[in-house]
Amino acid sequence: MEWLGHAAVAVTSSPSSLPLQRKDGTTTTLRELCENTTPPCHLNPLLFNGHLQTIWTSVKEEGPPIHYKRKVFDADHKIYHGSFAVDFVVEPHQEVDETLFPRTSYFSEQEFSKIGSDDKRPMVIVLHGLSGGSYEVYLRHAIAPLVLGEGEWEACVVNARGCANSEVTSGVLFNARATWDVRQVINWARKTFPNRPLFGLGFSLGANILTNYVGEEGAECPLKGAISVGNPFDLEISNKALQRSTLGLHVYQKVMGTNMKKLIEQHKEAVLEHTKLDLDRIQNLKYLYEFDREVQTVTWGYPTENAYYRDASSSDAVLAIRIPYLALSALDDPIAVEEAIPYQEIKANPYTVLVTTSLGGHLSWFEFGGGRWHARPICNFLNTMVGEINLDAIKPDLIQKSTTPEAKAHFDPVRRKLQVIDA
């Protein structure tokens, strides 16, 4: 029971949670590690429900002073061309670029040519939420303890195409299922920093993309672990839940739809050049689901927005994960709603653990005094994985296929289809 901002914390996992070997030779499990690295959740008692927590994010806050240098990558996908921007955390600098957000400038070609390293510093690759970017306060709160001061971590943020003042150079726009850009960055990082343990961290729709990516990679995933924060998981359920309530429809759906319309307007010339979108129709829309109907169905070929939501959802992909995976969710989140959380899939996979809090809103978790609670379990988990766990001893093949002789079929969690086994 909550009282004065004290939220209840619950852990969901497989009964046979992934065994982990510590560097000192002792053993633990992924569930035990997550339990031990998740602190009590004491939030601002004045923000006593998910709506207040979520709406409070609109209050101006400077946030931790993270400095970035940007590199624009040309996509290497054989079909989905274009470019995207990646912001790397760097030492404080005084460079100012009026086209970018504060404390962000571009790498020079000479600077970026020297970025490779044989060091063993851990590195986290971050994905932001819908229409956001590396500048987001919730994101900077999460990585600040890792990279500032005595922090030993390296970090970069993969910005969705067109977000964070990045250019749109093709008809490939933001998509909740588009794992190609993050895959390219992770593969590039694996080659450029061969000795660094790599981890993934995703927020909201970025968490959905990261979960899809980790599931698609399965046992071959180059990451040593991943954290999903405020993941909507089942986008169709979350979308319908938002449309059921007055606040959901006329506040959250409308705000998100407005943000996406602004993104299209910002890149109007490029959108007209590379797509067949009707900009007049888009600007007359009100809600996010209308935007998805007008944009995602046209640019990606989905017949309806619900088909897009079903295809892009990461709830089934959870079953295919084969690296340590922690999901953080608030049960009062009005956007990534509880009914969309894949509890059964989490319980079926030893590699996954879900930590829920009864309070917290959407990517909020405001503590009394201005802190953000989610930063602490994120940093604790990552630091413990690197500092105490023998990452090379983790085996990606501990799950037997669920096929039974009676079933004569196998469920592919990435394709989200039951496949008949040929006799």
Q: What's the CA gap between 180 and 160, in Å, rounded?
A: 11
Nearest to 231 by CA among 248, 214, 209: 209
Instruction: Select which of 131, 333, 364, 374 is catalytic.
Output: 333
Q: What's the CA gap between 160 and 174, in Å, rounded?
A: 6
Farthest-apart Cα atoms in the chain, separation: 67
Q: Would you call 417 exposed, middle or buried from its count of C-beta atoms within 10 A (0-12, 13-18, 19+)?
A: exposed
| Inter-CA distances, 339 with 2, 18, 209, 277, Å | 20, 25, 19, 33
Nearest to 68 by CA among 46, 100, 33, 23: 100
Q: Which residues of 343-353 are buried (b: 16+ CB within 10 A; e: fewer)?
A: eebbeebbbbb
Contact 308, 296 (CB under 8 A): yes
To which residue do tokens 């927005």 refer?
305
Instruction: Select which of 204, 228, 314, 329 is catalytic.
Output: 204
Contact 73, 86 (CB under 8 A): yes
Q: What's the CA gap between 107 and 109, in Å, rounded?
A: 6
Instruction: Select which of 313, 362, 364, 374 is catalytic.
Output: 362
Does residue 333 have an active-site annotation? yes
Which residues face 85 on adjacent strands? Answer: 72
Contact 259, 282 (CB under 8 A): no
Does residue 374 have an active-site annotation? no
Which residues face 89 on adjacent strands? Answer: 68
Q: What's the CA gap between 90 and 138, in Å, rounded?
A: 19
Does residue 17 have an active-site annotation? no
Contact 228, 349 (CB under 8 A): no
The string of DSSP letters for 215-259 reads HHHGGG---SEEEEES---SHHHHHHHHHHSHHIIIIIIHHHHHH
Contact 199, 224 (CB under 8 A): yes
Residues with catalytic function: 204, 333, 362
